[in-house]
Structure 1
Amino acid sequence: MDLFSRSWTALRTAVAETPDEDFGRPSGCTGWLVRDLACHLVIDAQDVLITLATPMDEEPTRTALTYWQVAAEPPTGDDPLDALTVRLAAAYEDPGLLKFHLDDVGSAAGRAAALADRGLRVGTQDEVLTAGDYLSAYVLEWTLHHLDLVAHLPGRAGPPAECLAEARRMLEDIAGTPLPAALPDEDALRLGTGRRTPDGAGRPELPARFPLFLG
């Protein structure tokens, strides 16, 4: 829970501190501007609230690691939900309104997570997880999206070191193989999820299992 809170607080703070003029710059998500990513985070925060308010009696069908589905191809940005996110983001017009909405619903999601019983079984996407596993899965989500947020914003602070380390551990566990130890956590996460391609500048070769395209 501590890492969920740290990663989510750091990401929301980074969005809040992003100058309005930077909301029209590219993010690290294919086809999305910074404003589109911020809008996606609003939707994610709503999902957290909905899921934590959806208790289930069934046995868990997923864990923090198996929550993630690995796609065969990288995202193109053409998915209908992705396209809807772009239209919703454009509708805000004023980045200040988008920041306000994320702070509002994002703070509520953070409070709900802090109050949640870790053993509670919750439902999302036709699957059942414990609340603890569900929130742990989001450490990877928040950390990757924090990297996406600052991908083209030089000088902006990235995710906390402990969140980067945990996200890397999760990614390696999902893959079933470690990334090269010589890679710093940020590079390992970007390369390991296909957000960046190896440039041949002395970088160690990735194991064949990578990159993982998570969805």
Structure 2
Amino acid sequence: MDLFSQSWTALREAVAELADEDFARRSGCAGWLVRDLVCHLIIDAQDVLITLVTPAASEPTRDAVTYWELVEAPTGDDPLDALTVRLAAAYEEPWLLAFHLDDVGSAAGRAAQLADPAARVATRDQVLTAGEYLRAYVLEWTLHHLDLIAHLPGADGPPDACLALSRALLEEIAGASFPASFSDADALLVGTGRRTPTQAERADLGGLAARLPLVLG
């Protein structure tokens, strides 16, 4: 729960520090500008709010690891991705995007702090405890924080503890560990296909290299 708050607060602060021109830069998400990514974060924050007020009576069917599924790499044809780009453009002014994220994002952060970690919630036709759901989102926020700053030299990255947990979650999803020579950020970037491994890194990865990227959905 604490790491959810840390990762979400750090990400929202990073968005708040963007200059207007930064919203037109490329993000680490293929095909998305920073403004498109920020719009996606608004939708994510809405999803968090909806899930935390959607109780479930049945036993949990997923946890923070099995919440994620490995999917095919995006082709750019997904209707939701296209909708996100159109919605982002509709804001016209960058400050409107930043304001909406701060407004909805603050509410999502407060809802997470008030949530009972043991309470069962429903999302995507699955049931999780609120604690496991929020733990899964540490990986989401951390990856998108890396996406946000991908082409913003000097910008602050995600908190170290959130990087470490996200790496651990990704390794559980993969069923394999990344080499100790990889920093947590590099394990996440290379592991999810956000960066191509160097020849030396590919050698260190061994058999795991053939299974990359791990595209989460």
2:130 equivalent to 1:131: yes
The residue correspondences of 1:52-201 to structure 2 (distance < 5 A) are 52-71=52-71, 73-200=72-199
Aligned residues: 213
Counterparts of 1:20 and 1:78, CA distance in 2:
28
Counterparts of 1:115 and 1:43, CA distance in 2:
20
Q: Structure 1 residue 30: deviation in Å? A: 1.1
Q: Which residue identity is paired with 2:134?
A: L
Q: Structure 1 regions of 5+ residues with no counterpart?
A: none
Counterparts of 1:59 and 1:210, CA distance in 2:
33
Counterparts of 1:212 and 1:179, CA distance in 2:
12
Partner of residue 203, structure 1: 201
Task: Write the deviation string for residues 20-68 of structure 1: whole angstroms up to 9, x where unpaired.
Answer: 1010111000110000000000000000000001001011111110000
Write 1 or 2 for the structure with the bigger share of helix. 2
Q: Structure 1 residue 199: deviation in Å? A: 2.9
Identity %: 72
The 8 Å contact of residues 4 and 138 in structure 1, kept in 2 or not, is answered as yes
Counterparts of 1:11 and 1:129, CA distance in 2:
24
Q: Structure 1 residue 8: deviation in Å? A: 0.3
Counterparts of 1:103 and 1:190, CA distance in 2:
26
After TM superposition, the score normalised by the length of structure 1 is 0.97
Counterparts of 1:195 and 1:188, CA distance in 2:
10
Partner of residue 44, structure 1: 44
Q: Structure 1 residue 204: deviation in Å? A: 4.5
2:38 equivalent to 1:30: no
The 8 Å contact of residues 25 and 34 in structure 1, kept in 2 or not, is answered as yes
The 8 Å contact of residues 7 and 143 in structure 1, kept in 2 or not, is answered as yes
Q: Which residue identity is paired with 1:212?
A: L
Counterparts of 2:212 and 2:33, CA distance in 1:
25
Counterparts of 2:211 and 2:121, CA distance in 1:
31
Root mean square deviation of aligned Cα: 0.9
Q: Which residue identity is paired with 2:214?
A: L
Q: Structure 2 regions of 5+ residues with no counterpart?
A: none
